[in-house]
Chain A
């Protein structure tokens, strides 16, 4: 399968060829798209809603702003941003996976969100937007699935307007030992079983658990953001560091 020249990367705990990963990730989200929202609620006991609220509260969105909800999936953040930026603003929901975008489109239509939302199938590593386009970029629970995170962060930096901010909401490293242990138990034992019961898909959830562990910790991600140019970079631990919100500005 892999010849001497191909580059390798992580897919959960497995090592796979780089050009294979994108399609394997797509496969995972393709298989979970329909049940994605239910699983989110079950897995996090609804707390993911509060983490997302915290992200939106930190975004500083105002009427007229242009927002990119990257790896936006089924559009949880998009719905709220769409109301906050109003008819003079715009929200772009971008995701690599067409099935997720479609579930998102239906959901937003049912919520009565239309008009200022655009749906774009895009890879975070090569964003198809002009330089200096957005006031705000959010990527919630998306960065850990991206193959080349540095490239993706640089791409986000490029399309952000000067004065704009990037918010990265992602699983991170629990700050307490005991919490780490509960969390490991939960995500490697309980989660895949739940995935099996509800979505009949233990493997995808096993992948999710593994990908969470492979993701860079708080300080590593902060320095990765700084390396591509972000300034005033900070992070805020949520729920004991199970999740962290990183914030950085482009000036």
Chain B
């Protein structure tokens, strides 16, 4: 399965969903239309190309962007704070090539996101539940950020090397035999169903 495409698809749908929660996103996206920003995560074999229009499309490809950002995944969360960009560059945790202003505009797009999560949840559940949920979420976020660090590490390891899955020869032969048997049984079943249906019709 194309693993990087699974990543880009998931990321793309998540980002666009989040953007859609703020009604001002459409307006903020307009000046960015047609721009392309490539994100080169050191852990991935190919860069992710963010193409801006009325939404954001993410391609896995190394076509020429307006702006190329290279960094490692652990630096990623700090990108939403545009005031930190220069500091990160100074520390060489981040390199930006091309249109620096574009990188800042995009960072601002996400930073200015104003999403009333409580409001969105309440639409489905009613206010009381939403209020309680808000508290649970706040308490849970601490726990989550601990977990997130772990998941990030695992994800990085998994993506860094797409290991081919090796199946021992014997297991594979057995599997082939099982399959043949299954095919035969399915065929037999097919015939019986056909026979039964014709009996039913003739009754």
Contact = CB atoms under 8 A, between A and B. Distances in A.
Instruction: Report if A and B associate in a common complex.
Output: yes
B63 to A, nearest CB: 6
B33 A86 contact: yes
B55 A49 contact: no
Given A57-B60, A84-B51, A50 B5 contact: yes
A181 B179 contact: yes
A13 interface: no
Contacts of B34: 63, 86
Do most interface residues of chain A lie in helix, strand or loop, or is the interface mixed?
helix
Interface string A45-71: 001011101101110101100000000
A57 B61 contact: yes
A198 interface: no
Contact of B5 (A53, A83, A177, A185): A53
B98 to A, nearest CB: 15
Given A83-B53, A86-B53, A185-B186, A54 B2 contact: yes
Given A53-B2, A178-B172, A238-B2, A60 B179 contact: no
Contacts of B5: 50, 53-54, 57
A239 to B, nearest CB: 6
Interface string A137-152: 0000000000000000
B6 A50 contact: yes
Q: How large is the interface on A (under 10, 10 to 19, 20 to 34, 35 or more residues)?
A: 20 to 34
A80 B57 CA distance: 8
Given A57-B59, A83-B51, A112-B54, A47 B1 contact: yes
Contact of B179 (A62, A80, A178): A178
A182 B178 CA distance: 11
A4 B8 CA distance: 55
A244 B180 CA distance: 26
A50 B9 contact: yes
Contact of B182 (A60, A177, A185): A185
Contacts of A196: none
A50 B2 contact: yes
Nearest to B8: A53
Interface string B6-21: 1011000000000000
A183 B154 CA distance: 31
Given A181-B180, A185-B179, A83 B54 contact: yes
B66 to A, nearest CB: 11
Contacts of A109: none
Contact of B63 (A51, A53, A60): A60
B183 interface: yes
Interface in A174-192: 177-178, 181-182, 184-185, 189
A235 to B, nearest CB: 14
Given A178-B175, A185-B182, A83 B2 contact: no
Interface of B: 1-2, 5-6, 8-9, 33-34, 51, 53-55, 57, 59-61, 63, 172, 175-176, 179-180, 182-183, 186, 190
List 6 A-B pairs, minimum CB-CB distance, nearest first: A83-B53, A53-B5, A50-B5, A181-B179, A57-B60, A57-B61
28 contacts: A47-B1, A50-B6, A50-B9, A53-B2, A53-B5, A53-B8, A53-B60, A54-B2, A54-B5, A57-B5, A58-B61, A60-B61, A62-B63, A83-B53, A83-B54, A84-B53, A84-B57, A86-B33, A86-B53, A112-B54, A178-B175, A178-B179, A181-B180, A184-B183, A185-B183, A189-B186, A238-B1, A239-B1
Given A181-B183, A185-B183, 7 more contacts: A50-B2, A50-B5, A54-B2, A57-B59, A57-B61, A84-B51, A178-B179
